[in-house]
Amino acid sequence: MTPDDLSRVLSGLVDALIERRGGATGDGGLTVGEITFERPKNRDHGDWASNIALRLAKPLGASPRDIAAELAEGLAAVDGIANVDVAGPGFLNIRLEAGAAGVLAQTIVDAGESYGTGDALAGLVVNLEYVSANPTGPLHLGHTRWAALGDALARVLRAAGAQVSTEFYINDAGNQMDTFGRSVIAAAKGEPTPEGGYVGAYIGDLARVVLEREPNLLDLDDEAAVDVAREIAYATQLAEIQNSLSLFNVEFDEWFSERTLHAPGPDGRSSVDLAVDRLRLQGHVYDDDDAIWVRTTDFGDDKDRVIRRGNGVYTYFAADAAYYLDKGDRGFPHKIYLLGADHHGYVHRLKALAGAAGDDPERDIEVLIGQLVSINGAKLSKRAGNIIELDDLREWLGTDALRYSLARYPADSPLTLDPEILTKRTNDNPVFYVQYAHARTCAVARNAASVGLDRSVFEPALLDHETESALLGALQEFPRIVAQAAGLREPHRIARYAEELAGLYHRWYDNRRVLPFGDESIGAVHHTRLWLNDATGQVLRNALGLLGVSAPERM
């Protein structure tokens, strides 16, 4: 019996109670989806707890304990429920029969990879943008965190039923691209880096690539040489970024070039040109001092924003506006931006932009800010000189340890990782702890097969030990945790859940044997425990998959 089953049963009992008390069905103001259950911290209090009686007391004008007593009597008569106690001011503590709880093991094994998925966010169509690094250098530690978090968030949202398109916005327009090209030319000529230019050994590497592909580069006039160097270096660096992310198990559905927003359309006007007109139609654009402004203060911004200067040059805000509108044109009513710690000023700006575009800033756009991350003992990149590169981190710590650790904390928490712990093969290392639990479930399954023990028998009532009750209770929670992590945009909840589940599995393993001991013959209890073992392995595998982390079968 799952929490959803209990919610449906309790909903019927609530409707009957209201009718007995002379009210109309629904007077309590609660739907089935609003009747929720929690796992009691003290397992002596049962398998599930509900505060429904406290919530009904005021609208019904009755004592919470009296309401709880009536509901407890009805619940106790339901098949699969062993007993119900009323505690404190009116809490319901529900204990399930072992058979009703144990059947979950078979449910999970049968569901396989789909266990934990749901429809909590069905109908939500999302464009999720993250990383979006300038294509003028390697990805660094900050990008690494946003890559791990963004990809995990996309996986969790999809598991909850949302339709998600992940997007990398390529900042390939503007002055920084010309500066990039001039930096590469300087390296090719053996000259000092221009003021404000890009430094690091990687610029020299790019210069060599450019010279290999365009041997006559240095014979061109300065402007032409910069154009050629910029384009070849840009394509090379972007390919490196894409490869780095792919090796980190991060793939994007869309790589969106900023240049496309500035490219003239059939009528000679760009998306940026059209964005100004479209915002003006919404009534939030005005002209002042020869400049064009968006009245973003109408939507909580601290000041209005210039979208085109008096000299006719567009601001970065203009590209932001065109890009936002383009997302809507491509069929994404909901947009999520995951931005770095230095982008706090973008929160009000982007929300105001959504309002100026005619959308609801509180519904149609979310801006998540990730905080800084550091790693003790990490060395700056020899190629880039002033950053810690993603590729170096991956080779040093491993993709699994890095992804798990970065996704294990809320995005808005500053984070310092300890490589000494992340490289240990001990229980102090969270990712090892979870992966080892999964590997142990696989080892148990292999050993069972070697003695002819399979899942041909399933008697869930035999799963009656306290460690089995605790383990089953945690397995039952997984769909709710996934839905919660998706709804709150907090994939770290999956990691913390996986660690709790691993601990409960290890305790069960220490107390209950799947394989017969000594001369003991294989019985129904061994077959049944194998179901629970395999169900736990499946959920651990599903949880790790949501974080983009592997689930090894041997360690």
pLDDT value of residue 43: 67
Cβ neighbours of residue 7 closer than 8 Å, sequence gap 6 or more: 32, 33, 35, 36, 37
Give the three-class secondary structure for 36. Answer: coil
Q: Domains plus CATH for the chain?
A: 3-96 (3.30.1360.70), 175-247 (no CATH), 424-546 (1.10.730.10)
Residue-level pLDDT at 350: 93
Alpha-carbon torsion, ordered 350, 356, 357, 361, to 10 deg: 50
Q: Do 407 and 248 touch, CB atoms closer than 8 A?
A: no
d(Cα 231, Cα 304) in Å, to the nearest integer? 35
Q: What share of the chain is helix, strand, coil (3-state, %, to 5)?
A: 55, 10, 35
- pTM for this structure? 0.89
Helix ranges (H only) for 61-97 are 64-76
Look up tokens 């808005």; give the residue.
412
pLDDT of residue 530: 98
Q: What is the DSSP string of 122-185?
A: TT-EEEEE-----TTS--BHHHHHHHHHHHHHHHHHHHTT-EEEEEEEE--SSHHHHHHHHHHH
Residue 403's CB: how many other CB atoms inside 10 A?
29
E strands present in 390-534: 415-417
- Please tell me the distance from the alpha carbon of residue 256 to that of residue 403, in angstroms, as a whole number: 24
Taking the chain (555 residues) in runs of 10, the rounded mean pLDDT of each run is 80 85 58 72 79 86 89 89 90 85 94 96 97 94 94 98 98 94 96 93 96 94 95 98 97 97 94 94 92 92 92 92 96 95 83 94 93 82 76 94 95 89 90 98 98 96 92 94 97 98 97 92 97 98 98 96
Q: Which residue is associated with the tokens 């580069």?
A: 217
Helix axes 141-159, 390-397, angle to 10 degrees: 70
pLDDT at 207: 97
Give pLDDT, residue 306: 94
pLDDT at 372 (0 to 100): 83
A 10 A CB-CB count for 306 gives: 17
